[in-house]
Amino acid sequence: DQQVKQNSPSLSVQEGRISILNCDYTNSMFDYFLWYKKYPAEGPTFLISISSIKDKNEDGRFTVFLNKSAKHLSLHIVPSQPGDSAVYFCAASAAGSARQLTFGSGTQLTVLP
Amino acid sequence: EAEVAQSPRYKITEKSQAVAFWCDPISGHATLYWYRQILGQGPELLVQFQDESVVDDSQLPKDRFSAERLKGVDSTLKIQPAELGDSAMYLCASKGLAYGYTFGSGTRLTVV
């Protein structure tokens, strides 16, 4: 049973345009959400996070939106750059779970020059 | 910037052989995790340590996998015997007081 789902395995976007990556979750106990970026043959690197007490968090070109009622979050990248091409993982954690992260299956973003 | 060190980066082994991976977390991080990532899937937790103690190893295939963190610092994950289905990237991560993890570069294991 996948508690964190990324239903789009891949996404292609033109350089300069907006990239929107989506993530859905089923566990209502999740209260902290993160996005990680992964290049081939490297470990995931932290990108941005959001607590369930917020509905938006912004860091430069990256913005994460959280819709708790829909159990949905999204990552917006604007403007997209070729260097953003990577696999993006959504992750979630719950209090009382020793803050273990549960990951989605990832979305491969390709930014075309 | 502090890093999580993992070695080796790549490992090719024959099935039924033993293989071991090493991880050195960020200094002062009490929590250490081993994850396995199969291509096309997200990382899945194998084992979590708090200092030298195992907090959760419910997803660790204990018939062939073992993990230790004897002094509460670096950690070793072992597979014996390796099977073809163990081919994956093995990721180590550590966590301080913040909610997020810092991952190492991983060990890409290929079992032939």
B78-111: per-residue pLDDT in tens?
A: 999 999 999 999 999 998 877 778 999 999 999 9
Q: Are B83 and B103 in contact (CB under 8 A)?
A: no
Whether B44 and A101 lie within 8 Å, measured CB to CB = no
What distance in Å separates residue B93's CA from the closest CA in chain A?
Answer: 9
Give the bridge partners for B63, in sequence order.
none
For range A28-52, the mean pLDDT: 93
A7 and B CB contact within 8 Å: no
Question: Quick check: A95 pLDDT over 90?
Answer: no
A43 and B CB contact within 8 Å: yes
According to the model, what pLDDT value does residue B101 have? Answer: 87
According to the model, what pLDDT value does residue A97 have? Answer: 61
Instruction: Please give the interface size between A and B, counted as residue pairs whose CB atoms are below 8 Å apart.
Output: 59
Please tell me which of the candidates A43, A46, A105 has its beta carbon nearest to residue B42.
A105
How many CA atoms within 13 Å lie on the side-chain side of B24? 6
According to the model, what pLDDT value does residue B100 have? Answer: 77
Q: How far, in Å, CA of B72 to CA of A81, rounded?
A: 41
According to the model, what pLDDT value does residue A28 have? Answer: 93
Interstrand relation of B31-37 and B10-13 (parallel, antiparallel or unpaired)? unpaired
pLDDT > 70 fraction of chain B, expressed in percent and rounded: 98
For range A9-21, the mean pLDDT: 97
Q: What's chain B's average pLDDT? A: 94
